[in-house]
Structure 1
Amino acid sequence: MLSMKGDIQRYRLTYILLASSSVVYLFSALLSQSLSDMDMQVLVDMGALFGPLTVLKGEWWRLLTAMFLHGGMTHLLMNMFSLYLVGRGAEMYFDTKSYLSIYFFSGIIGGLVSLYIHPVSVGVGASGAIFGVFGALAGFFLAHREKIASHTKAFMKDFSIIIAINLVIGFSIPSIDVSAHIGGLIVGFIGGFVLSKDPKWIWVYSSTMVLLILAIISYLPDHYAQILF
């Protein structure tokens, strides 16, 4: 069994992401003057997704910052536990570039889907990115299903745990958006399937995702103008 230090060294990307969200949470808790529930205005000021600011004011950087913000302790712990489960597995099967590309593209596109479905809601959390990592594992297992059939049961067990966790989150945290989960899952699945076949395809995957992001960003302002005005 790996020691804690050895575990961190082996799965350093996952632990870096865990630590980043935790540090940001502590800062938001300080500003909110509460460790359990974050003040909505504080979250918006720190970079939460909010359609009128993100889309209409062009503050697209919120697609990234919102991934590291969480609405409360329950939200943070459940997301971090989910990331711990799937992130370590992903680091075993994907290289650094593939892992990070899948994580951030899933989170960003999941955020864009959320902005489309819920134009005036405040959205925070790493759920879209985490579902993307999980989708990547699903893509990996599908691509190599004949070689790793013995691992399928363990994978399905983790799947059940993560689905249960996110059902609890969805019912307990108003700002959680299932549409972001679905968007992230699809993006991650595509990345996992393609990059598990050949990591060199990362440039094709990344270019496709960037074009998709730009296309959605160019479309959303007109969409908002139609539904909000």
Structure 2
Amino acid sequence: WTIVCESPRRWECQEQALVLQALGIPHLIADGPRNATLLLVPAEHAKWARDQLGLYAAENRRRPAGSLLSPDRNGWPGVAAYLLVLVVAFLAQGRVAFGVDWLQAGALDGAAVRDGEWWRVVTALTLHGDAGHLIANLFFGAVFGGCAGRYLGSGVAWAMILLAAGAGNALELALLPPTHRAIGASTAVFTALGLVAALLWRAQSHSASGWARRYAPLIGAAVLLAYIGTGDAQTDAVAHLTGFIAGLFAGAAFDLRRPRWLQSHRVQVISGVGALLLLAACWWLAVSTWSAGLALAE
């Protein structure tokens, strides 16, 4: 018998033994010196076995686990913008800045959205009921959104989060009665969680890893959703779920085979500025509509 693989890690020999088994090449695994594991084949099959194992190793080098997605981008600019927007909106809301009732103008309102005020699915993301509500969303949003920014870049990540979170709010309204009202960035927080989970799942699905490793991101994210996304009667669990689902779809639809454009500074800037302009435009529509309604009431 001839040694075709010697490794201190038994699983490596076991993995290569599966290749030989699939090809019908006789083999056996034995203990070697210095706690090594040996994979042996009959001498007359040694060249064939080595050739096939070499092809298998070359294929795995071209397609290593996780190579399609690397956390090597700067996620901090997006996190900083997220924190700044939420804090400024909270201060404006509490002080009725510029004489605007920000809650009345921008809260998610089922009846108003059905009447055409679609921008509320975006503006509601920046409003909060109290400081505790805000702080929780600042923390978890920075964590999950920061992770998304590491993989996609700040601009692209937060543009996707904003759009998908808006879709999550719209989905929530489709499931609940027109009387439903809500505020808070938690939809976006769980959108970011779903986005990261789906991106990691997509990356692992292109690898040669086992099912447990491939589905671990989705399972872990679902556990987090259940743990921090549910609570007392004041928790908008439906919004958390719809935001998470929207994030999953956004991440699953992302084309991981062409990630080079994410390295473009211009793409990141355009995406980030575009997200801020969309948010500003939605608030302009919200304030204009609220002001017009107030004028009519007078």
TM bin, normalised by shorter chain, reads 0.5 to 0.7
Conserved? CA contact 2:194–2:248, under 8 Å: yes
Root-mean-square deviation (Å): 3.4
- Kindly provide the amino acid, as one letter, of the partner of residue 116 in structure 1: A
Conserved? CA contact 2:186–2:239, under 8 Å: yes
Check 1:167–1:72 CA distance in 2 against 1; reply closer, same or farther (3 A cut). same
Instruction: Please say which structure displays the higher CA radius of gyration.
Output: 2
Q: CA deviation at 1:132?
A: 1.4
Instruction: Tell me the alpha carbon deviations over residues 87-138 of structure 1, each in whole angstroms, 9 at most, x when there is no partner.
Output: 1111111134531332112211111122223321211111222211111111
Tell me the residue number matched to 2:78: 13
The answer to whether 1:137 aligns with 2:137 is: no
Tell me the residue number matched to 2:183: 124
Higher fraction of strand: 2
- Kindly provide the amino acid, as one letter, of the partner of residue 173 in structure 1: Q
- Kindly provide the amino acid, as one letter, of the partner of residue 234 in structure 2: I
Conserved? CA contact 1:50–1:120, under 8 Å: yes
Give identity over the alignment, percent.
Answer: 24
Higher fraction of helix: 1
Equivalences for 1:40-51 in 2 at 5 Å? 42=101, 44-51=103-110
Conserved? CA contact 2:93–2:102, under 8 Å: yes
Instruction: Tell me the alpha carbon deviations over residues 159-183 of structure 1, each in whole angstroms, 9 at most, x when there is no partner.
Output: 7556433324xx2636x2x222222
Superposition TM-score, scaled by structure 1 size:
0.65
Check 1:157–1:113 CA distance in 2 against 1; reply closer, same or farther (3 A cut). closer
User: Structure 1 residues 93-102 or 140-149, which shifts more?
Assistant: 140-149
Check 1:75–1:163 CA distance in 2 against 1; reply closer, same or farther (3 A cut). farther
Alpha-carbon distance in structure 2 between the residues aligned to 1:192 and 1:29 = 35
Tell me the residue number matched to 2:234: 173
Instruction: Tell me the alpha carbon deviations over residues 18-56 of structure 1, each in whole angstroms, 9 at most, x when there is no partner.
Output: 210111011112239xxxxxxxx9454230011222212
User: Structure 1 residues 132-141 or 181-190, which shifts more?
Assistant: 181-190
In the comparison of the two structures, how many residue pairs are matched?
181
Q: CA deviation at 1:15?
A: 1.6
Check 1:103–1:19 CA distance in 2 against 1; reply closer, same or farther (3 A cut). same
Q: CA deviation at 1:72?
A: 1.6
Tell me the residue number matched to 1:189: 248
Tell me the residue number matched to 2:96: 31
Check 1:162–1:186 CA distance in 2 against 1; reply closer, same or farther (3 A cut). closer
Tell me the residue number matched to 2:28: none
The one of 109, 113, 130 aligned to 2:171: 113
Unpaired segments ≥5 residues, structure 1: 1-8, 33-40, 203-229
Q: RCO higher in 1 or 2 (8 Å CA, sep ≥ 6)?
A: 1
Alpha-carbon distance in structure 2 between the residues aligned to 1:20 and 1:47 = 14
User: Structure 1 residues 89-98 or 102-111, which shifts more?
Assistant: 89-98
Instruction: Tell me the alpha carbon deviations over residues 175-218 of structure 1, each in whole angstroms, 9 at most, x when there is no partner.
Output: x2x2222222222112223243435899xxxxxxxxxxxxxxxx
Tell me the residue number matched to 1:73: 131
The one of 181, 198, 208 aligned to 2:258: 198
Conserved? CA contact 2:164–2:250, under 8 Å: no
Conserved? CA contact 1:49–1:123, under 8 Å: yes
